[in-house]
């Protein structure tokens, strides 16, 4: 027996010679029976009791995820003026910051000059600047790219002394609210809004966002308080710790792309169906890296698109499997696995635009066998955000 396509790094082409780093909650995960694997250069828990049980628990109750491997960055201006930081960030990202109010959170994309995707990220307007959360495996490259793009009077701080926890699921609000105090109640944070609160005696930035399709929160706290906060939340009857395995199956069901798999420098935002990550004013005005390609593809269309696939039967197809329309190869899978909620295999793929319409029947080659699959609008499992 031997395994292939284990949960791997967010980028497969990066040499990983260095010993993996330990996250602030490393001992906490081990004490709770987390099975630790290397991911994005860190040792992280892939599961505790089992991926299926953790996945379903999150959909029904609330799951606590340690996502401290992700990069937390603060973009601010030395003289404290938000305008310079805002202009600088708009030149670097296709985001409209004029419509992003204090406490607002928005999904954005870091593009190269050719319009390829270098990373996807979250941008929030904080009182002192802009708070960015970027992927763990790409954070060092992102920091270098952003420092290149930002002028000297705009500072990019890597908040390496902070941990990031995600509490996700329909009971996340109830569990978190018991422990949070602040200038306003937690209930005023609706989807993609955040604010400063206190939890377990420490300051926290809490936003109502996540990567599961469920209602939930992302909680940034000083690293030295992470274990206290995690203990407090996991003591609630609604909350269990959840590993990377279920994080992946939850986001796949939610139709959310994973950088390094579904997104890469070889894919454009239009191909990836992430036009919403390029705000309307920026689409029209341009003025960000890759704008030329984005505008061209918006008017002329693209040759291939990221689509969802629901497979017949129980056998899953994995990343890299070729997709066919009849005898003709029309694309390949970028993610795939068994959906615990739907109890059937699902996948994401890039396929030729002619084969990308929902309802189209395609086949997937899995070790020489052709599995039948239907192009399906995503999310596979409806989002339940609290708007």
Residues at the interface with another protein (CB under 8 A):
1-7, 46-47, 50-53, 55, 245, 248-249, 313-316, 318, 337-338, 340, 345, 367
CA pair distance 297, 274, nearest whole angstrom: 12
**Overall residue count recorded for the chain in this entry:** 387
Strand partners, 64: 167, 241
Residue placing its CB nearer to another protein in the complex, 1 or 18? 1
How is residue 1 written in tokens? 């027996």
Choose between 53 and 325: whose C-beta lies nearer to another protein: 53
Shortest CB 35 distance to another protein, Å: 9
Shortest Å, Cβ 193 to another protein = 33
Question: Closer to another protein at the Cβ: 52 or 223?
Answer: 52
Q: Which two tokens stand for residue 371?
A: 């599995």
Nearer to another protein, 90 or 319 (CB): 319
* Residue placing its CB nearer to another protein in the complex, 4 or 127: 4
CB of 88 to another protein, least distance (A): 41
* Spatial distance between the Cα atoms of 324 and 224, rounded to a whole number of angstroms: 51
Neighbouring C-beta atoms of residue 368, cutoff 10 Å: 5
Least distance between another protein and beta carbon 6 (Å): 5
Q: Distance between CA atoms of 70 and 138, rounded to whole angstroms?
A: 9
One-character DSSP codes across 214-251: SSEEEEEEEGGGHHHHHHHHHTSTTEEE--HHHHHHHH
- Residue number, 248 or 271, with CB nearest to another protein: 248
Shortest distance in whole angstroms from residue 49 CB to another protein: 10
Q: What is the CA radius of gyration of the chain?
A: 21
Distances (CA, A) of 6 to 3, 12, 13, 299: 7, 12, 15, 39
Least gap, CB of 33 to another protein (angstroms): 12
Tell me whether residue 297 or residue 365 sits nearer to another protein (CB atom).
365
Q: How far is the CB of 52 from another protein (least distance, A)?
A: 4
Contact 304, 270 (CB under 8 A): no
Q: Which residues, at least 6 apart from 19, have a Cβ–Cβ distance to it below 8 Å?
A: none
Pair 22, 213: CB distance under 8 Å = no
């Amino acid at each position: 027996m031997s395994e292939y396509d284990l949960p791997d790094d967010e980028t497969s082409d990066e040499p990983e010679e260095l010993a993996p780093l330990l996250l602030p909650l490393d001992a906490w995960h081990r004490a709770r029976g987390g099975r630790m694997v290397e991911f994005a250069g860190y040792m992280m828990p892939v599961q505790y009791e089992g991926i299926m049980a953790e996945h379903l628990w999150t959909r029904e109750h609330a799951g606590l995820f340690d996502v401290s491997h992700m990069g937390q960055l603060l973009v601010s201006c030395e003289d404290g003026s938000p305008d310079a930081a805002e202009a600088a960030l708009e030149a670097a990202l296709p985001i409209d910051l004029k419509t992003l109010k204090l406490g607002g959170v928005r999904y954005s994309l870091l593009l190269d000059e050719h319009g390829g995707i270098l990373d996807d990220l979250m941008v929030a307007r904080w009182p002192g600047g802009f708070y960015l959360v970027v992927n763990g495996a790409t954070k060092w490259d992102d920091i270098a790219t952003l420092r290149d793009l930002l002028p000297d009077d705009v500072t990019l701080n890597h908040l390496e002394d902070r941990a990031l926890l995600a509490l996700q699921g329909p009971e996340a609000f109830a569990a978190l609210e018991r422990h949070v105090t602040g200038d306003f109640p937690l209930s005023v944070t609706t989807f993609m809004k955040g604010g400063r609160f206190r939890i377990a005696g420490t300051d926290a930035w809490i936003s109502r966002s996540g990567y599961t399709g469920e209602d939930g929160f992302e909680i940034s706290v000083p690293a030295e308080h992470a274990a206290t906060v995690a203990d407090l939340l996991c003591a609630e009857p609604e909350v269990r710790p959840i590993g990377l395995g279920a994080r992946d199956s939850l986001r796949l069901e939610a139709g959310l792309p994973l950088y390094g798999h579904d997104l890469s420098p070889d894919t454009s935002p239009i191909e990836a169906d992430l036009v919403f990550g390029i705000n309307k004013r920026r689409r029209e005005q341009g003025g960000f890296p890759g704008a030329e390609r984005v505008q061209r593809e918006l008017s002329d269309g693209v040759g291939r698109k990221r689509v969802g696939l629901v497979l017949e039967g129980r056998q899953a197809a994995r990343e890299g499997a070729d997709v066919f329309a009849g005898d003709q190869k029309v694309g390949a899978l970028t993610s795939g696995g068994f959906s615990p909620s739907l109890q059937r295999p699902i996948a994401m793929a890039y396929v030729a635009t002619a084969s990308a319409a929902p309802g189209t029947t395609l086949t997937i080659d899995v070790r020489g066998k052709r599995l039948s699959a239907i192009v399906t609008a995503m999310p596979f499992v409806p989002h339940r955000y609290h708007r």
